[in-house]
Amino acid sequence: MRLLSLLCLFSTVTFGAVVAPALPDAPAQKEQGLTLHLSAGRRTDTRAARLVALYVPAGQAVSPFLPAGAFAAKWEGEIASDLRAEYTFAADVRGAFKLTINGTLVLEGAGDSTAQTMNKTVQLNKGANLLVAEFESDGKEDASLQLTWWAKDFPAEPVPPAAFQHDVNDRALRDGRRVREGRTIFAQMRCAVCHAGAEVAPELAQTAPLFNEPGAKFRENFLAHWINDPRSIRPHALMPRVFSDDGQSAADLAAYLVSLGKKDDTAPAPENAPLGGALFANFGCIACHTTPDFEGEDEHGRVPLGHVKAKWQPRALREFLKDPAKDFPHTRMPNFRLTDEEAERLTSYLIENAKREFPAAPKGDATKGAALLVSAGCISCHAGAPMVGTPKLADLTWEKGCVAAEARARGKAPDFAFTPEQRDALLAFAAGGFDSLKQDAPIEFAERAIADLRCTACHARDGQQSVWSQLEGDMIVLQSGAPNSDAPEGAPVASTALPALTWLGEKLQPAWMEQFIAGHVADKPRPWIIGRMPGFASWAHGIAEGLALEHGLPVKVEPVKPDAERAKIGERLLGENGFNCLQCHALGERNATAVFEAPGPNLARTRERLREGYYTRWLLHPLRIDPETKMPRFATDDGKTPLTDVLGGDARAQVDAMWQFLQTVKR
């Protein structure tokens, strides 16, 4: 007992030596979203939230910075209304909940082991209305909350992210953001591999590429430049600058690395380049990358490719495009499941158009390079081998080494080129101790991954348009190299109109979503577009789980036992004598009857893909979810449909009957 308390005392003293830098003042700034204050076990934490919703499975922590168990959550911000109008608010809760708008109590209540719903109608002013939502859980069972609303002209829906505004410069929020940034840098830059003393949860840990026959993949002169200064080639590189000499050490390492593996620099056929250029546009490579002949500053911060000819042996580049994660599981470059022909065309396009050249590096000595691989810490990151002789975390002087502001104080440490903000973030994180590395919160994992992996390069989200949809002009130039005019009628077309990411957590069943994001679902839900969702295998599980929980829903979806009688009615409603849904939607093997009209996904996938809540509100009012959709609305504002002889013309009952039927259809 005494030993234990002594140890605790010791560890507080050492970590306490790092002081979080003062946060500068910042003027209030309104942006979309809410501020979420969390507390548990007498500790507090603040982050931004998109929704008034969450699901925390029993035994998990609501935040990486808080202990598991009982917790309280408080959302603050404004809710906007276009007009002065009446809205009904409702909450599904497992825990205790209270909603206050403009200082007036709107909802208050508690739900126990099964969720409980409460609702009340209130008037919102035109413009901003102050909102405070409070939730508490005793931590003994799963905690959940989903705030929904409806009005005369739209059916019940989760209150959408675009309705909320908050001050992003709120001090507690900035504190929470900064300590999170420090934590992410700490995990991504693998500080704990070289400075022992912290346990990092597997979902936070990230790998660096394996050195698998680098000589068969890369060119020596390029490697010398990359190793000498990675950020001069890729601005977002995670790899630090390890040497500060004239480039000799990097050249030695390059010489050593290319001695491993046999080179194959057979050039791809140049006539395939224009076809590859069209794929570069139509697959959405262009949403994450500037074209290989691009020079200058890119307003979208895309990843440059001008150096790929100087870097890659052509055959290795083709293999890389087909499976980017093969030697680097945590790569941010996704897997497009390219055919050999597609990979060949893209390789040709990249090699033919990449123009960046590099001056000759000093001549390298492979023997010296082999020794540096270990002593310079390359294999610490690249193979997870702990570095010998570096100070432990608890012994670090945080003004020196890797976090030093000036080169002089850096000494023999690698140069991560931290900005002053990143350095402050690391210090703020270190000041709080390293306990938060032991656990992650799935909701935060998903949000980090979506930002880090550039999902919004291709998908709209929360009312923000995608990068891809802003590049149609650049796409036309590339597409003109491979005219599509001889394609048969009904062949897939290039399109940047993709499902928005906004509602994924509420729309899709996590099990299907995980398989799909991983790139493991073979067939395309939308065969009418050329684009395909690329796979992000290392991240799929965490994204699918986190998005469900963020929307206040459990990860496990209970299978529905369809009601035979209602299913029969549902089947009729889908067909010609009903709403004729099958005009636009295929059903299993049965093709849509008017395919070129406005195709929708095959409805035989509904059972494994969709969650019921989303399905219902989509059918009641598709335009409310996607103002651009061609799916017609069948229900009126007061919940009736023209088919008055079926189930009394009650839209919800009819939508449910079709749901029951779709549960009987297997792929």
Which listed residue (62, 90, 193, 224) binds ligand HEC by CB under 6 A? 193
Which residues in 198-217 contact ligand HEC (CB under 6 A)? 208-209
Select from 64-72, 97-105, 145-153, 388-396 the region that touches ligand HEC (CB under 6 A): 388-396
Q: In angstroms, give the least distance from the CB of 489 to ligand HEC.
A: 18
Select from 24-32, 51-59, 92-100, 405-413 the region that touches ligand HEC (CB under 6 A): 405-413
Collect all residues with Cβ–Cβ distance below 8 Å to 251 and sequence separation of at least 6.
224, 228, 361, 362, 363, 364
Which listed residue (89, 164, 336, 434) binds ligand HEC by CB under 6 A? 336
Q: Decide if residue 111 touches ligand HEC (CB under 6 A).
A: no
Which listed residue (150, 294, 358, 516) binds ligand HEC by CB under 6 A? 516
Amino acid at 393: L
Q: Decide if residue 657 touches ligand HEC (CB under 6 A).
A: no
Amino acid at 491: A
| CA 323 to chain CA centroid, nearest Å | 20
Select from 117-125, 145-153, 168-176, 380-388 the region that touches ligand HEC (CB under 6 A): 380-388
CB burial readout 581-590, b (16+ within 10 A) else e: bbbbbbbeee
Which listed residue (34, 48, 285, 587) binds ligand HEC by CB under 6 A? 285
What is 332-400 written as a DSSP string?
SSPB----HHHHHHHHHHHHHH-----PPPPPP-HHHHHHHHHHTSHHHHHH-PPPSSPPPGGG--TTS
Which listed residue (525, 562, 575, 639) binds ligand HEC by CB under 6 A? 525
Which listed residue (154, 294, 358, 398) binds ligand HEC by CB under 6 A? 398
Q: In angstroms, give the least distance from the CB of 603 to ligand HEC.
A: 6
Which listed residue (70, 115, 238, 431) binds ligand HEC by CB under 6 A? 238
- Dihedrals φ, ψ of 131, to 5°? -125, 135
Q: Which is nearer to ligand HEC, 8 or 560 (CB)?
A: 560
Q: In angstroms, give the least distance from the CB of 57 to ligand HEC.
A: 21
Select from 11-19, 25-33, 100-108, 184-192 the region that touches ligand HEC (CB under 6 A): 184-192
Distances (CA, A) of 608 to 356, 384, 664: 47, 39, 11
Q: Decide if residue 455 touches ligand HEC (CB under 6 A).
A: yes
Q: Which is nearer to ligand HEC, 526 or 624 (CB)?
A: 526
Which residues in 241-260 contact ligand HEC (CB under 6 A)? 242, 253
* Cα 134 to Cα 593: distance, rounded to the nearest angstrom: 50
Q: Decide if residue 396 touches ligand HEC (CB under 6 A).
A: yes
Q: Ramachandran region of residue 603, left (φ > 0), alpha (ψ -120 to 50) or beta?
A: alpha
Q: In angstroms, give the least distance from the CB of 623 to ligand HEC.
A: 11
Which residues in 299-318 contact ligand HEC (CB under 6 A)? 303, 305, 308, 311
Q: Decide if residue 158 touches ligand HEC (CB under 6 A).
A: no
Other CB atoms within a 10 A radius of the CB of residue 126 amount to: 11
* Cα 339 to Cα 504: distance, rounded to the nearest angstrom: 28
Select from 260-268, 355-363, 447-455, 552-560 the region that touches ligand HEC (CB under 6 A): 447-455
Q: Which is nearer to ligand HEC, 358 or 516 (CB)?
A: 516
DSSP H helices, 218-265, are: 220-228, 248-258
Which residues in 609-648 contact ligand HEC (CB under 6 A)? 609-610, 615, 618-619, 629-632, 634
Q: Decide if residue 467 touches ligand HEC (CB under 6 A).
A: no
Q: Decide if residue 191 touches ligand HEC (CB under 6 A).
A: yes
DSSP H helices, 229-313, are: 248-258, 273-282, 285-288, 308-311
Q: In angstroms, give the least distance from the CB of 547 to ligand HEC.
A: 8
- Compute how many residues bind ligand HEC; rule: CB under 6 A: 109
Q: Decide if residue 429 touches ligand HEC (CB under 6 A).
A: no
Amino acid at 405: A
**What tokens appear for 213 in the block?**
């026959």
Q: Which is nearer to ligand HEC, 176 or 531 (CB)?
A: 531
Of the chain, the end-to-end C-alpha distance in Å amounts to: 61
Other CB atoms within a 10 A radius of the CB of residue 636 amount to: 12
* Cα 20 to Cα 23: distance, rounded to the nearest angstrom: 9
Q: Which is nearer to ligand HEC, 38 or 208 (CB)?
A: 208
Q: In angstroms, give the least distance from the CB of 337 to ligand HEC.
A: 10
What's 581's DSSP letter? G
Q: Which x/- pattern, by CB under 6 A, does the window 566-595 give for ligand HEC?
A: --------x----x-x-xxx----------
Q: Which x/- pattern, by CB under 6 A, does the window 163-182 give for ligand HEC?
A: --------------------
Q: Decide if residue 464 touches ligand HEC (CB under 6 A).
A: no
Q: Which x/- pattern, by CB under 6 A, does the window 478-507 give for ligand HEC?
A: --------------------xx----x---
Q: Which is nearer to ligand HEC, 287 or 549 (CB)?
A: 287
* Cα 284 to Cα 282: distance, rounded to the nearest angstrom: 5
Instruction: Answer whether 564's CB lies under 8 Å from 533's CB.
Output: no
Select from 128-136, 156-164, 221-229, 266-274 the region that touches ligand HEC (CB under 6 A): 221-229
| CA 536 to chain CA centroid, nearest Å | 10
- Dihedrals φ, ψ of 354, to 5°? -75, 125
- Dihedrals φ, ψ of 218, to 5°? -115, 165
Q: Which of 356, 337, 345 is nearest to 317 (CA)?
A: 345
* Cα 344 to Cα 172: distance, rounded to the nearest angstrom: 51
Q: Which is nearer to ligand HEC, 101 or 508 (CB)?
A: 508
Collect all residues with Cβ–Cβ distance below 8 Å to 405 and sequence separation of at least 6.
399, 420, 423
Q: Decide if residue 471 touches ligand HEC (CB under 6 A).
A: no
